[in-house]
């Protein structure tokens, strides 16, 4: 057991990448760690911290030892517009390089503040994209544990794909099987993340730096649970000399409705009561919830197919439309086409930030149409809801394979290839409305395959909750991580 008396002397420093979907799980992780009695220091910048104030203040108010260290973000110095502190608000793809330059500039500030802390840092848990933390951990002589928001399945796919890439074995076109995995996973190059299938912006040098730092890490924390992907966890653990801690689903630390509603950002939809009543009105497991994550880069041509496919399915639905550059043409189509008016009886459009975890936990939600970001994927699994998969970019096609072929709790709409961030305008229609309706009908089907899929989803949802409970595998894994850091600190002192 971890000795209670010294726990608060352990200071876990959490450094997320400045992007909503990277900060959200780290804030959950901060709460989970602090609930065990350790001190947690979350490193952020002012505008990012504001988004999480309500959640963090609430956690601190309940007695948790969480503090926020604010770093001034050098937007201007890195050639970014003032106030642009987060990867999800970059005005264009070309600014990604500037964004990483700004992240690099944070190192001195962060180290100075950490040096001044009364409780000496015990370890750093950082997003894998923040490469300088490797030097910081060396300077402070503490372990650096990385977190990159992917499953063990995807980590292994990536590992094997890197080997293929180094040997020039990834075919330019056509499907191929990712080697050395417990299941047969077939992909095409066009479906792979940027490291293997680059878009027009070349950031290979940045990727190489991140990868080199990754290889120096002490260990890895993963937002997953053993029972979800045991064979992949075991294999990945072997690869990483056992220093892998599966501590998810992190989203399950939000037990109260208020925590679920405020997670990630203030919901644009603040009529929580109205949302609840709207959802309550429908039959159990009858509503389709459709959301494409925090970045929401679906093009207007694809939005049209999605909207009309949803309409033709006849199901009640909640559809999230993200603010940003793409919203105006979408709104234009909605009003000209009359979509919102026509579907007003059974469709709810949420513009901006939706309280996703709250919505998914409602019993009338029957399916989740998702872009397969890992957070959303695991949130859907935790809610026990079958999924309609529409991957867009990054490692989302791999997550789709996991949902559809390994867990068998999802049905594909049939998107063919990655739509690189910032290059959406070039994309044609990949998925048409008939395909959307077909996938929804398949998942909502109450017989045969649909029934089996739903049953599996429910079982996995139960297993997820079990893993996160006291004495569950993720709970135990977090205990072991804290113990490891405690022992490391004792040996050093």
CA neighbor of 182 nearest in space, from 147, 141, 229: 229
Neighbouring CB atoms inside 10 A of 438's CB total 19
Site membership for ligand UDP, residue 295 (CB under 6 A):
yes
User: d(Cα 44, Cα 40) in Å, to the nearest integer?
Assistant: 13
Q: Which of residues 316-345 bind ligand UDP (CB under 6 A)?
A: 320
In the complex, the smallest distance separating the C-beta of residue 128 from ligand UDP, rounded to whole angstroms, is 14
DSSP calls for 304-361: HHHHHHHHHHT--EEEEE--STTHHHHHHHHHHHTHHHHTTTTEEEEES---HHHHHT
Nearest to 218 by CA among 291, 300, 348, 123: 123
Site string for ligand UDP, 262-281 (x = CB under 6 A): -xx-----------------
Q: If binding means CB under 6 A, how many residues of this protein chain bind ligand UDP?
A: 19
Q: State which of residues 293, 347, 380, 386 lies at the interface with ligand UDP (CB under 6 A).
A: 293
In the range 426-485, which residues lie near ligand UDP by CB under 6 A?
none
Of 11 and 370, the one with the shorter C-beta distance to ligand UDP is 370
> Which among 115, 94, 99 is positioned nearest to 41, based on CA atoms?
115
Positions 347 through 376 that interact with ligand UDP (CB under 6 A): 353-354, 356-357, 373-376
**Is residue 406 near ligand UDP by the rule CB under 6 A?**
no
Residue with smaller CB distance to ligand UDP, 53 or 72: 53
Which CB atom, from 160 or from 268, has the smaller least distance to ligand UDP? 268
Residues 236-265 that bind ligand UDP (CB under 6 A): 263-264
Residue 415 is a binding residue for ligand UDP (CB under 6 A): no
Residue nearest to ligand UDP (CB): 373
Distance in Å, CB of 349 to ligand UDP, minimum:
12
CB 180 within 8 A of CB 157: no
User: Can you tell me the distance from the alpha carbon of 154 to that of 168, in angstroms, rounded to the nearest whole number?
Assistant: 20
| Piece of 20-28, 44-52, 111-119, 481-489 that binds ligand UDP (CB under 6 A) | 20-28
Q: Supply the minimum distance, in Å, between the C-beta of residue 179 and ligand UDP.
A: 26
Structure tokens, 121: 């840092």
Q: Which residue has the tokens 């990054």?
A: 394
Query: Which residues, 24 to 53, sit near ligand UDP by CB under 6 A?
Result: 24
What is the C-alpha separation between 214 and 216, in angstroms, rounded? 5
| Comparison of 22 and 237: residue with beta carbon closer to ligand UDP | 22
- Name the residue nearer to ligand UDP (CB basis): 376 or 389: 376
- Check binding of 127 to ligand UDP (CB under 6 A): no
Helix runs in 123-255, H state only: 133-140, 152-166, 204-215, 230-239
Hey, how many other C-beta atoms are within 10 angstroms of the C-beta on 271? Answer: 10
Interacting residues toward ligand UDP by CB under 6 A: 20-21, 24, 263-264, 291, 293-295, 320, 353-354, 356-357, 373-376, 379
């Amino acid at each position: 057991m971890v000795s209670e008396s010294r726990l608060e002397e352990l200071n876990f420093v959490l450094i997320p990448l400045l992007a909503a979907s990277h900060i959200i799980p780290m804030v959950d992780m901060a709460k989970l760690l602090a609930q065990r009695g350790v001190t947690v220091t979350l490193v952020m910048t002012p505008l990012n911290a504001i988004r999480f104030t309500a959640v963090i203040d609430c956690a601190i108010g309940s007695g948790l030892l969480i503090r926020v260290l604010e770093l001034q973000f050098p937007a201007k110095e890195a050639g970014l517009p003032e106030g642009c502190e987060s990867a999800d608000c970059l005005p264009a793809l070309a600014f990604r390089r500037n964004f990483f330059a700004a992240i690099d500039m944070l190192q001195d500030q962060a180290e100075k503040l950490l040096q001044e802390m009364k409780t000496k840092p015990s370890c750093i848990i950082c997003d894998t994209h923040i490469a300088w933390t490797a030097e910081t951990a060396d300077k402070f002589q503490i372990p650096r544990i990385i977190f990159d928001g992917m499953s063990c399945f995807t980590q292994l796919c990536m590992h094997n794909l890197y080997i293929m890439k180094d040997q020039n074995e990834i075919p330019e076109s056509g499907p191929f099987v990712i080697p050395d995995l417990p299941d047969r996973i077939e992909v095409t190059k066009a479906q792979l993340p940027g490291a293997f299938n680059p878009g027009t912006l070349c950031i290979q040098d940045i990727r190489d730096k991140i990868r080199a730092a990754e290889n120096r890490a002490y260990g890895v924390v993963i937002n997953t649970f053993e029972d979800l992907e045991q064979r992949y966890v075991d294999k990945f653990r072997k690869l990483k000399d056992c220093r892998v801690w599966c501590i998810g689903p992190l989203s399950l630390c939000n037990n109260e409705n208020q925590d679920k509603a405020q997670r990630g950002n203030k919901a644009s939809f603040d009529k929580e009561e109205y949302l609840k009543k709207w959802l309550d009105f429908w039959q159990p497991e009858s509503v389709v919830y459709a959301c494409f994550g925090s970045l929401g880069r679906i093009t207007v041509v694809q939005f049209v197919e999605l909207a009309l496919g949803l309409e033709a399915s006849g199901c009640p639905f909640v559809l999230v439309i993200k603010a940003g550059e793409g919203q105006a043409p979408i709104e234009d189509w909605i009003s000209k086409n009359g979509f919102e008016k026509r579907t007003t009886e059974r469709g709810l459009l949420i513009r901006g930030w939706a309280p996703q975890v709250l919505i998914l936990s409602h019993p009338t939600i029957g399916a989740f149409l998702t872009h397969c970001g890992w957070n959303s994927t695991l949130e859907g699994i935790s809610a026990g809801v079958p999924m309609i998969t529409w991957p867009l970019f990054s490692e989302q096609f791999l997550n789709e394979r996991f949902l559809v072929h390994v867990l068998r709790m999802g049905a594909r709409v049939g998107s063919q290839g990655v739509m690189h961030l910032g290059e959406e305008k070039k994309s044609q229609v990949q998925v048409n409305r008939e395909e959307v309706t077909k996938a929804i009908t398949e998942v909502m089907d109450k017989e045969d395959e649909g029934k089996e899929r739903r049953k599996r989803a429910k079982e996995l949802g139960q297993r997820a909750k079990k893993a996160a409970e006291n004495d569950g595998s993720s709970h135990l894994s977090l205990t072991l991580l804290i113990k490891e850091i405690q022992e490391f600190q004792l040996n050093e002192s």
